Amino acid sequence: MKAEFTAIIDKAPEGGYWAICPEIPGANGQGETKEEAKENLREAIAFILEDRLEDGLRGLASGAVRETISVG
């Protein structure tokens, strides 16, 4: 699955950079470079979305149908 999200990146007061994703509450990253901060943010987004999917599937009825849809 491929999706695009917004990355807000800024210099951290203590050095390096921090990054957040406003579409995914709780997704943030940091690194010595902008690229490290973005990669850390990518990993955080993936982890959060995987966790939300597992939570959403837990306890579904055995007859529930799972399909994929595309948005925008």
Q: What is the pTM of this model?
A: 0.85
pLDDT of residue 69: 87
Where is pLDDT greater, at 18 or 69?
18
Distance of alpha carbon 33 from alpha carbon 30, whole angstroms? 8
Q: At residue 1, does pLDDT exceed 70?
A: no
Q: How far is it, in rounded angstroms, from Cα 29 to Cα 5? A: 14
Please state the rounded mean pLDDT for residues 25-32: 97
Average of per-residue pLDDT across 26-42? 98
- The pLDDT confidence band at residue 16, using thresholds 50, 70 and 90, is very high
Q: Tell the residue number behind the tokens 């690229």, with chain if given.
A: 35
